[in-house]
Amino acid sequence: MIRQQDLFIAAPIYANGKLKISSVLIANRGEIACRVIATCKKLGIATFVVFTDADSNAPFVKLADKAHYLGDPESQPYQNGELIIEIAKRFGADAIHPGYGYLSENADFAAAVGSAGLVFLGPSPQTIAALGDKREAKEFLAARSSVPLVPGYGGLDQDPDLLEKEADRIGYPVMIKASAGGGGKGMRIVHSKEDFRESLQRCTSEAGRLFGSAHCLIEKYIEAGKHVEMQIFGDGETAVSFLDRECSVQRRNQKIIEESPCPWLSAEMRQDMSNSALEIARLLKYESAGTVEFIVDIKNERYYFLEVNTRIQVEHPITEEVVGIDLIALQIYVAGGGKLQAPPQLQDIKQIGHSIEVRLCAEDPFHDFRPCTGTICQLKTPLDSKSEDCAGLRYELGVERGSAITVHFDSMISKIIVWAPTRAMAIAKMIRALKNTVCFGLTTNQVFLQRILASPHFHDVSYTTALIPQNMGELTAPLDTASVDSSTAIAALEI
């Protein structure tokens, strides 16, 4: 990574002349495994990974100090907490980093890690359990905090007749969402009473299949809404806010472009949202990294709590870039007993410049975002040229030339992150990075991302989660008649 300045890395904690955490097993794969390994290497910490047939030659396997074969990916071995803990003990690991997804927000797994004498690099099992279910989390906050909540219903009585009456009371449009869901799954927007029953049936079916619980919430759907989140960090005593990320560019309720800071937020609202996030962190004596998600109604300029992700977030690099702190290193520091009041770098957090992240995925936006599989036969980034334009450019890759994108895992090829002094410069830099990234062998969303970034809809900072669905015709127009000209946009931005 090349940046204007290096990230601050909290020094690891020692006891009796030895590192308290000298080795970490990463219970994950792909780019997040590579990301954790990179920081551990800087800290002198050994890394162990687990892999399946699909990843036998993956970069994270080569980068780790030791790797253990898990078997066939169809058996979902990354969900087998008992096996992962057994392997960690066999390696002699001190800690387990769960990454994101898989077991990262599984309270039982976090507890089992601690019971095995290992350190879980994340929040306490009690915190994960308290926040893991959306219904229970909202009940907890409604009773104990002043954090604003979206009007809705989350009761245990799930009779369809009652749920329909609650939707009528709340007023359409409403959002049906799985209480135990996440990642954009188990969610349906319902615009009218006539569509409610069918949407409810689909949502409960998906929730039961994916999350083991069919329980759903009914909430008022904020039509002109922004998805803004706050990065929090705690050590059990002190809580710190690393401020906001704008995550409204989504397809199928999943983010594909994020930026920090959110250019629409006023200083007053940013501070209010940060205070709400810190109120939650202090209530729970939060430990490690977490993200408090909010929906912002831009019509009445009010924000509402959505959920807390009790893990490191996919888009954490843009926060790292604007605040200058390595969040993975901070997880290790806190897990080893470090206190957030100690490092002076954490005492006055400010966002400097602007950072944007895009998710380069193997999917076809021109055919309903259909996932695409295949082998990457060529992969080059601007970093390979080591040009001056590489300053402020960062790639979080989990693949390389020859890597296969399969049906077994997420379709993300790389996160591309830029930092620049201003938003306009960051947009221009990202468009250049995308145009100069070569990924052959399978279909990707590369052109689609360029079009969004060059679009006037993205330049208007009041854009909402409706940006993609409302402009799909323009964003997916045939290449020779597209209304968005990236080169023109770059010229306009570089004034």
Residue 363 DSSP SS3: strand
- Residues spanned by the domain of 204: 151-220
Range 464-480 average pLDDT: 93
| pLDDT at res. 485 | 44
373 falls within a domain = yes
The Cα angle at residue 162 between residues 161 and 165, in degrees rounded to 5 = 90
Range 213-222 average pLDDT: 92
Each residue's pLDDT tens digit, 291-335: 999 999 999 999 999 999 999 999 999 999 999 999 999 999 999
Find all residues with CB under 8 Å of 259, minimum gap 6, and list them.
245, 246, 318, 354, 355, 356, 357, 423, 426
CATH of the domain at 421: 3.30.470.20
Residue 455 has pLDDT above 70, yes or no: yes
> Please, what is the average pLDDT of the chain?
93
Choose the final residue of a domain: 220, 245, 274: 220
233 falls within a domain = no
Do 413 and 474 lie in one domain? The reply is: yes
305 falls within a domain = no
| pLDDT at res. 227 | 98
Residue 2 has pLDDT above 80, yes or no: no
CATH of the domain at 104: 3.40.50.20
Domain total in the chain: 3
Lookup: tokens for 19 = 């590192």
Q: Which of 163-172, 173-182, 243-252 has the lowest mean pLDDT?
A: 173-182
Residue 436 has pLDDT above 90, yes or no: yes
Range 433-455 average pLDDT: 98
Do 75 and 194 lie in one domain? The reply is: no
| pLDDT at res. 1 | 37
| pLDDT at res. 134 | 83
For residue 280, what is the enclosing H or E element? Answer: helix 267-283
- Stated pTM of the model: 0.90
Find all residues with CB under 8 Å of 398, minimum gap 6, and list them.
29, 30, 31, 32, 33, 34, 58, 59, 60, 412, 413, 414
Do 70 and 168 lie in one domain? The reply is: no
CA-to-CA distance for 115 and 55, rounded, in angstroms?
Answer: 30
Cβ atoms of residues 241 and 230 within 8 Å: yes
Do 110 and 160 lie in one domain? The reply is: no
Residue 132 has pLDDT above 80, yes or no: yes
| pLDDT at res. 5 | 57
Task: Count Cβ atoms within 10 A of the Cβ of residue 388 and give its class: 0-12 exposed, 13-18 middle, 19 or more buried.
Answer: exposed
User: pLDDT-based confidence at 67, cuts 50/70/90?
Assistant: very high
| pLDDT at res. 164 | 96
Choose the final residue of a domain: 192, 220, 248: 220
Largest Cα–Cα separation, the chain: 68
Per cent of the chain over pLDDT 90 is 86
Backbone torsion region of residue 337, taken as left when φ is above 0, otherwise alpha when ψ lies between -120 and 50, otherwise beta: left
Do 487 and 364 lie in one domain? The reply is: yes
Do 88 and 210 lie in one domain? The reply is: no
Catalytic residue among 251, 311, 359, 451: 311
| pLDDT at res. 223 | 86
- Residue 3 known to be catalytic: no
Do 45 and 171 lie in one domain? The reply is: no
Per cent of the chain over pLDDT 70 is 96
Residue 116 has pLDDT above 70, yes or no: yes
Choose the final residue of a domain: 164, 190, 220: 220
User: pLDDT-based confidence at 162, cuts 50/70/90?
Assistant: very high
Do 156 and 108 lie in one domain? The reply is: no
314 falls within a domain = no
**Long-range contact list for 53-56, CB < 8 A, 24+ apart?**
54/404, 54/406, 54/408, 54/409, 55/29, 55/30
Which residue reads 């009528």 in tokens? 168
